[in-house]
Chain A
Amino acid sequence: MTTHTTTRAQTPTHHTLSYDDVTRTIARTLGSPGRGYYVLLACAVTMLGIGVICLLYLFRYGLGLAGYSMPTYWAVYITCFVFWVGIAHSGTLISAILFLFRSGWRTAVYRVAEIMTVFAVMTAGLFPLIHIGRQWFFYWLVPYPNERGLWPNFKSPLVWDEFAIGTYFTVSTCFLIMGLIPDIAAIRDVATGWRKKLYTLTALGWRGTNEQWRHYRPAYLYLAALATPLVLSVHSVVSWDFAMSQVPAWHETLFAPYFVAGAIYSGCAMVITLLIPLRAFFQLEELVTLHHFENLAKLILLTGMIVCYAYVTEYFFAWYGGPTPEREAFWYRAFGRFWWAGWTMNVCNAFLPWLLWSKRIRTNLVALFVISIFVNLGMWMERFVIIAVHLAGEPFESYVRAGYNATWADWGIMLGSFGWFFMWFLLFVKNFPAVSVAEVKEELPPPEHAGRHR
């Protein structure tokens, strides 16, 4: 089979698989769920319930129930917002950017990443609505015609944010649906019972005719081409929520690339965190191989190095800038009341990724899983430090510097956000193909008779 050495070289473990194996393997994941699945789902729903209850209290009595204090006007909720938006980034990166780079290994993992993206944005989008003081007026940020002739302020980064997040959610959903259609069709043709009806409906009549492929292929390409700048822009815009202000340690030109790198960093970590159990759960070892995890690990390594560089730069300029509020702020990050948060973030995000230089660790699933957990923790802490800690350590008006303590309302709603995310994730992976069918096949040698040369 010399003709297919190139494709094999990309995915050395696929040579044994046939198209049929792929379809069956993936179709198998959609069978009727076992007890374990329902336990997980129940946990997710319970977490969501707790969050909802906390939220109702918040609506009734006001934001005072959360741990806010002057001058810490933003804290856990915005931290969660940025955290979830960050998580949402690896999805589009893997499906769009790697698609443009024609890196074949993405096919096995991009669906999980995309699912994660869509649901993470759904989660992130909740927090700006939760954290505002009068949640029931959130729609005032939307430019809708009204009898009072009022419009939102397009100079406010928060409005940019609203547009960025909205666009990102829409586009990544389109992208997910695009990728799903042929796969749903494939599942449709092997499914039975009510699922068959469901897939017949959702496949939108896909049959894989040359006409369909003819429009499908370029459309996918253009979507990828649109999504690529988008994914880079979204977290830049989020970072400008901070960089456009004049709060020391927020007001940095570095923020956009710094945040984007951090987002992809945390996103890939989250992919690993989700994929390792999923792979075991669905016995996808043949499709999702060590090779894929190692590539993800390399992405983490790359972005981790960028994040590390960003940290160093921040401290350097704080020191180089002289006795300014900037220096005050970074002194506070390192040695202030919240030194532990600052150092957690440094260790998890700037020191830990160095381990990934070693191939042994990159190819050790246990190590990767543990590291990915710590990266997620570290990235959450990074956002907490940037938002809550630097507000608490007010560097300009020294008289109002004060502590900050999160309360049950903060933790409860944060827990609820994880429940919300995992609920959707679990529901999806059991009902729709969590690994691309058509695109994995693209990485396989097409069926030929031995010895037939052309």
Chain B
Amino acid sequence: MSDGMNRRRFLTVLGATGGGAALLGACGVGEEQAQKLIPYLTQPEDQVPGIATWYATTCRECPSGCGVRAKVREGRVIKLEGNPDAQVGRGHLCARGQAALEGVYNPDRVTDPLARNAQGQFEKISWTDALARFGANLKGANGHLAILTGQESGSFGDLVDELAKSLGGRHVVYEPFAFEALREGNRLAFGTTAVPSYDFARASYILSFGADFLDTWLSPVDHQTAFARAHGFAAGNPAMAKLVFVGPRMSLTGMNADEWLAPVPGTEGRLALAVASVIVRDRLASAQPDVGRLSGLLGRHTPDAVAAVCGIDAKTIERVARELAAGDGLVVAGGMAAHYPNGAEIVAAVNVLNYVTGAVGKTVQFGPNQNVEAGTFGQMAELVADMAGGRISVLVVTGTNPGHSLGGAFWQAWAKVGTKVVISPYLDETASAADLVLPELHPLEQWNDSRPRAGVWALQQPVMQPVYATARAAGDVLLAAAGKPGSFKDYLQTSWHAVHGRLGHGTSFDDFWNDALAKGGVASAASVEKVRLAAGVERILAGPPDAPALDGGAHDPVLIAFPSPTLYDGRGANKPWLQELPDPVSKIMWHSWVEVHPDTATSWGVTDGDLVVLQSPFGAVSAPVWMTPAIRPGVLAVPTGQGHTAFGRYAKDRSFNAFDLLGGAANGYAGRTFTVRVSVKTTGDHRFLATNVGDPRELGGGEEIVRSLTYAKAKALKPGDRPFRAREYPVYADSAEAGWAVAQRTEAARGNYAGHQPRWAMAIDLARCTGCSACVTACYAENNLPTVGEDLVLRRRQISWMRIERYWREDDHGLQAVVTPMLCQQCEQAPCEPVCPVFAAYHTPDGLNGQVYNRCVGTRYCANNCAYKVRYFNWFNFAERGGEWEAWPAPLDWQLNPDVTVREKGVMEKCTFCVQRIRGAQNQARLEDRTVQDGEITPACAQSCPSEAIVFGDLHDPASRVAQVSADPRGYHVFEELNTRPGITYLARVVHAEEA
């Protein structure tokens, strides 16, 4: 039959000859593609077709190194989830981590070694040739060699160190967002450059000076889980932590704060000292050793004195001090606060405050330190200087992309380096300027390990055969080029023999190794060490500069460059999932923006989308304005991550690069300064911001969707209370309604609908949800959602079954951002169902609003009639090969989940609680002749949620967790008055404000 006339070819011929080609084309009967069929005769024992295999490994999308489990189907990794056994992440994974999948399958990966030829063009060369050249370079460098890598806390870093040493060169570590200020600040205050771990779960009062611990700071996933435990409201533990965020800009972390204080940029240190001074003055905390040394100096920083400086009134300072000292306080400094020229002093001041409150040793634990000690921006600046000075003849870059985050000075120096070799999976800015590019395997395809925290050894293993067999592991390449024997895996295992020695407990190495592989690593408890104030600490108290001198015109507004929660330092920009993931704060996609306070914008006569030119001493960018109340008037903020000049189709030539505005010189603490003064020129130009925020409402909005309770009210609630219960009809109609409703239900329960059925339902705790949007990406990955691109997002054609809605509110604690996940409510009496003329939208016996894609003709009536607007339409064929709207250019289509159909153009699609997982679990239970256990089924969103805000289960099973959580007095249904009886119960958020 292979070359005979089969049905499809018959149709194709018919279409071609019968003049109905256009029609058939429209019906999706395209040309048949010749394909090689390979029988699965010898099937690997761990690969059962249709059954997923899970491999534990480690995420490398940011330095925090969470443990992940890779779901592999038929030899292809199709989803990444948190590894519950891992010490970091503990079963959860952020959006960036999940999007690593689009790194492996990125359509713009380097497939072959490239060398620059005489014309300055890249040409493909063989690996032998490439290694020969590379080896020659390394030997010929005789000392003038530098190997530049990203944060490598594991064996690969050691290998590079050794090689560099043996070759007489040096190993420089460069992370655009390193933690120099943190390390220097700790040295100033405690005499150690270690970065402690912070116990957010234990804290009852968290004061964050710019530290975005929920989005980009240190280990955000862990922090979020811990924070949700402390800050979430549970009927059981009435203690609910309070978070106060101090920073000129409200970040994702700031959005979750109960109170947001926006001081003058750079004065955070004074503020911390003022709080400390109040605590010491009023003896609010038990006296710590050597606090005596400080009290005098602290006296200088009276609230009144500081209030004048930082623009936070003295009363607030006094109140914060009392609240902080009242319980287990935790003060953290980082992010913006650690990016000023005086960042180190600010961190030191915060350390002093922690010390004064007695938090050090309790919520701030030295010992299990965060392993972020390698590399400073100072060393990078030195390297650049040496390059410029011609003292570097061979530069090897791998695992980092300085070409994007460093400006003109770097490129001038780059030109002076004899040979530039880049080992990278992608042609990013640095690679595309190199002389020799060696295709590297993606971290999911190669061996490595990391030590994210003292006492934690995380393993990274290849989870699938390389997508491109021609790519190689960086370690192997270096070893081969340096003429060293063995592979990097051998090197790794040798180093793990040492670990085995320490933690083996007598097991054989193989058992130890296999166990580590299965669990994703090994861990041992790291003991907490005591620290005391360092000798020179008084110098800080002598007074950090009120507001540091910044580059740029003295009267120009201050601009803050912050790491994007979705694209981070730009490494996420080539992943469409992250590009189309609305920024948690601005909700803008596919583009960058500059945050301007409405007052400032009005004074400039600009509004949303107006392009302004930002000019700093180091460069200029043209940025669209996004007006937001969540920034201090007069201050500007821009996210990093966009503005690539290379790095593949999704990243290239998109928006502006915030790094262009920053200087390349290291500051006092060998870090980089991310604040600069910019002059602002308004241009007449305008560009629409691709966002999913709705137009403003004339009569308010969102109140019914996100409900809030004051802490006092919430505590007073007794089981059975229903503060948000809405009456659908007058009391006198109760009996009639009951009788009628019962009759309707009995009439409706026929055929498949008769008998006892589960009722799949969800409970979402808004007191825990932070709006981090990990669930959104999880949904994209699990359900094959297409990314539609900026143009279609602008036309509101985004297909995002789960969206995080963000509203601004004002209460007596000032500006509040409230967030809620909005997804299909799986109504019991769904408005979408009866209007479908062909039963494509129907009710499943287990209470889901099913959607039969093959039956749907696309009248879209269901979407009109859905009050929650959670049905999405396929306006185009997003899976068409080479089509204008193709969402999965090969090999990106390898990431598609085989359990979920890819929808055709013209059909409606929606969330069905990951019905494929439900059916999978039910089938499994049937095979094992048992019933489905509670908690056995977890939709992708619930699984990913780092703050564990989403509970899923069978509402008809009174013992199930979802049934109990849904019964919480805080529970409410969105638009309950519509009597749609949603399957999703939201638990009202609880605020510390006096009235909600």
Asked whether, in the complex, the Cβ of B876 is within 8 Å of the Cβ of A64, the reply is yes
Write the B861-889 contact mask toward A (1 if CB under 8 angstroms, else 0). Answer: 10111011100111111000000110000
B795 on the A face (CB < 8 A): yes
A101 on the B face (CB < 8 A): no
Give, as a whole number of angstroms, the nearest-CB distance from B172 to chain A.
46
Which residues of the other chain, A, contact B855 by a CB distance below 8 angstroms?
Answer: 140, 150
Asked whether, in the complex, the Cβ of B857 is within 8 Å of the Cβ of A73, the reply is no
CB contact between A400 and one of B859, B860, B869 (< 8 Å): that residue: B869
| Interface residues in A309-335 (C-beta closer than 8 Å to B) | 323, 327-328, 331-332, 335
Give, as a whole number of angstroms, the nearest-CB distance from B840 to chain A.
9
Q: Which of A1-9, A117-125, A128-136 contacts B (4 or more CB under 8 A)?
A: A128-136
B856 on the A face (CB < 8 A): yes
- Which of A62, A162, A246, A391 is the most central at the interface, judged by chain B CB atoms within 10 Å of its CB? A62
Give, as a whole number of angstroms, the nearest-CB distance from A390 to chain B.
10
CA–CA, A156 and B869, complex, Å: 19
Asked whether, in the complex, the Cβ of B837 is within 8 Å of the Cβ of A159, the reply is yes
A410 on the B face (CB < 8 A): no
| Interface residues in A396-411 (C-beta closer than 8 Å to B) | 396-403
Give, as a whole number of angstroms, the nearest-CB distance from B21 to chain A.
10
Which residues of the other chain, A, contact B693 by a CB distance below 8 angstroms?
Answer: 399
A229 on the B face (CB < 8 A): no
Which residues of the other chain, B, contact A134 by a CB distance below 8 angstroms?
Answer: 856-858, 904-907
Asked whether, in the complex, the Cβ of A61 is within 8 Å of the Cβ of B864, the reply is no
Asked whether, in the complex, the Cβ of A403 is within 8 Å of the Cβ of B797, the reply is no
A323 and B699 in contact, given A64-B876, A133-B908, A140-B857 (Cβ under 8 angstroms): yes
What's the tally of chain B residues with a CB closer than 8 Å to chain A?
Answer: 59
B698 on the A face (CB < 8 A): yes
Write the A51-72 contact mask toward B (1 if CB under 8 angstroms, else 0). Answer: 0000010011111100011110
CB contact between A399 and one of B698, B702, B857 (< 8 Å): that residue: B702
Give, as a whole number of angstroms, the nearest-CB distance from B928 to chain A.
32
Asked whether, in the complex, the Cβ of B834 is within 8 Å of the Cβ of A327, the reply is no
Asked whether, in the complex, the Cβ of A63 is within 8 Å of the Cβ of B836, the reply is no
Give, as a whole number of angstroms, the nearest-CB distance from B790 to chain A.
14
| Interface residues in B804-850 (C-beta closer than 8 Å to A) | 805, 807, 822, 831, 834-839
A158 on the B face (CB < 8 A): yes
A361 on the B face (CB < 8 A): no
Asked whether, in the complex, the Cβ of B865 is within 8 Å of the Cβ of A246, the reply is yes
Write the B7-30 contact mask toward A (1 if CB under 8 angstroms, else 0). Answer: 000000000000000110111000
| Interface residues in B193-221 (C-beta closer than 8 Å to A) | none
CB contact between B860 and one of A74, A323, A327 (< 8 Å): that residue: A74
Which residues of the other chain, A, contact B805 by a CB distance below 8 angstroms?
Answer: 399
CA–CA, A397 and B835, complex, Å: 19
A71 and B873 in contact, given A159-B837, A398-B705 (Cβ under 8 angstroms): no
Asked whether, in the complex, the Cβ of A138 is within 8 Å of the Cβ of B23, the reply is no
CA–CA, A69 and B872, complex, Å: 10
Give, as a whole number of angstroms, the nearest-CB distance from A346 to chain B.
18
A62 and B876 in contact, given A133-B858, A141-B857 (Cβ under 8 angstroms): yes
CB contact between B22 and one of A60, A246, A401 (< 8 Å): that residue: A60
B755 on the A face (CB < 8 A): no
A31 on the B face (CB < 8 A): no
A152 on the B face (CB < 8 A): yes
Which residues of the other chain, A, contact B831 by a CB distance below 8 angstroms?
Answer: 245-246
Which residues of the other chain, B, contact A132 by a CB distance below 8 angstroms?
Answer: 857-860, 906
A337 on the B face (CB < 8 A): yes
Asked whether, in the complex, the Cβ of B864 is within 8 Å of the Cβ of A59, the reply is no
B292 on the A face (CB < 8 A): no
- Which of B27, B859, B873 is the most central at the interface, judged by chain A CB atoms within 10 Å of its CB? B859
CA–CA, A327 and B699, complex, Å: 9
Asked whether, in the complex, the Cβ of B697 is within 8 Å of the Cβ of A328, the reply is yes
Which residues of the other chain, A, contact B875 by a CB distance below 8 angstroms?
Answer: 62-64, 68
CA–CA, A400 and B866, complex, Å: 12
CA–CA, A73 and B874, complex, Å: 11
Asked whether, in the complex, the Cβ of B834 is within 8 Å of the Cβ of A153, the reply is yes
Which residues of the other chain, B, contact A150 by a CB distance below 8 angstroms?
Answer: 838-839, 855
A276 on the B face (CB < 8 A): no
Which residues of the other chain, A, contact B685 by a CB distance below 8 angstroms?
Answer: none
CA–CA, A151 and B702, complex, Å: 40
Give, as a whole number of angstroms, the nearest-CB distance from B874 to chain A.
7
Which residues of the other chain, B, contact A71 by a CB distance below 8 angstroms?
Answer: 796, 863-864, 869
Give, as a whole number of angstroms, the nearest-CB distance from B988 to chain A.
18
| Interface residues in B548-564 (C-beta closer than 8 Å to A) | none
A30 on the B face (CB < 8 A): no
A336 on the B face (CB < 8 A): yes
| Interface residues in A432-454 (C-beta closer than 8 Å to B) | none
Asked whether, in the complex, the Cβ of A64 is within 8 Å of the Cβ of B885, the reply is yes
Asked whether, in the complex, the Cβ of B835 is within 8 Å of the Cβ of A133, the reply is no
| Interface residues in A36-95 (C-beta closer than 8 Å to B) | 56, 59-64, 68-71, 73-74
CB contact between B877 and one of A62, A327, A397 (< 8 Å): that residue: A62
Write the B779-813 contact mask toward A (1 if CB under 8 angstroms, else 0). Answer: 00000000000001001111000010101000000
B904 closest partner in A (C-beta): A134
Which residues of the other chain, A, contact B906 by a CB distance below 8 angstroms?
Answer: 62-63, 132-135
Give, as a whole number of angstroms, the nearest-CB distance from B957 to chain A.
30
| Interface residues in A138-176 (C-beta closer than 8 Å to B) | 138, 140-141, 150-153, 155-159, 162
Which residues of the other chain, A, contact B697 by a CB distance below 8 angstroms?
Answer: 328, 398, 401
CB contact between B705 and one of A69, A70, A141, A399 (< 8 Å): that residue: A399
Which residues of the other chain, B, contact A153 by a CB distance below 8 angstroms?
Answer: 834, 836-839
Which residues of the other chain, A, contact B23 by a CB distance below 8 angstroms?
Answer: 59, 136
Which residues of the other chain, B, contact A141 by a CB distance below 8 angstroms?
Answer: 837-838, 857
CA–CA, A331 and B978, complex, Å: 21
Which residues of the other chain, B, contact A403 by a CB distance below 8 angstroms?
Answer: 695
B805 closest partner in A (C-beta): A399
Which residues of the other chain, B, contact A396 by a CB distance below 8 angstroms?
Answer: 867-869, 975
B694 on the A face (CB < 8 A): yes
Asked whether, in the complex, the Cβ of B834 is within 8 Å of the Cβ of A158, the reply is no
CA–CA, A138 and B636, complex, Å: 54
CA–CA, A136 and B25, complex, Å: 11
Asked whether, in the complex, the Cβ of A391 is within 8 Å of the Cβ of B864, the reply is yes
CA–CA, A400 and B885, complex, Å: 23
A402 and B905 in contact, given A133-B860, A136-B23 (Cβ under 8 angstroms): no
A244 on the B face (CB < 8 A): yes
A394 on the B face (CB < 8 A): yes
Which residues of the other chain, A, contact B865 by a CB distance below 8 angstroms?
Answer: 245-247
CA–CA, A327 and B106, complex, Å: 49
Write the A408-443 contact mask toward B (1 if CB under 8 angstroms, else 0). Answer: 000000000000000000000000000000000000
A194 on the B face (CB < 8 A): no
| Interface residues in B56-92 (C-beta closer than 8 Å to A) | none
Give, as a whole number of angstroms, the nearest-CB distance from A125 to chain B.
15
Asked whether, in the complex, the Cβ of A397 is within 8 Å of the Cβ of B864, the reply is no
CA–CA, A159 and B838, complex, Å: 9
| Interface residues in B874-933 (C-beta closer than 8 Å to A) | 874-877, 884-885, 904-908
CB contact between A70 and one of B837, B873, B905 (< 8 Å): that residue: B873
B140 on the A face (CB < 8 A): no
CA–CA, A403 and B693, complex, Å: 12
Give, as a whole number of angstroms, the nearest-CB distance from B867 to chain A.
4
Give, as a whole number of angstroms, the nearest-CB distance from A71 to chain B.
5
B238 on the A face (CB < 8 A): no
Which residues of the other chain, B, contact A61 by a CB distance below 8 angstroms?
Answer: 876-877, 884, 905
- Which of B803, B868, B873, B884 is the most central at the interface, judged by chain A CB atoms within 10 Å of its CB? B873
Binding site for A on B (CB under 8 A): 22-23, 25-27, 692-695, 697-699, 701-702, 705, 792, 795-798, 803, 805, 807, 822, 831, 834-839, 855-861, 863-865, 867-869, 872-877, 884-885, 904-908, 975, 978
13 residue pairs A–B, Cβ–Cβ below 8 Å:
A59-B26, A61-B877, A69-B796, A71-B796, A134-B907, A137-B857, A153-B834, A158-B835, A162-B837, A244-B835, A246-B978, A328-B699, A397-B867
Binding site for B on A (CB under 8 A): 56, 59-64, 68-71, 73-74, 128, 131-138, 140-141, 150-153, 155-159, 162, 241, 244-247, 323, 327-328, 331-332, 335-337, 391, 394, 396-403
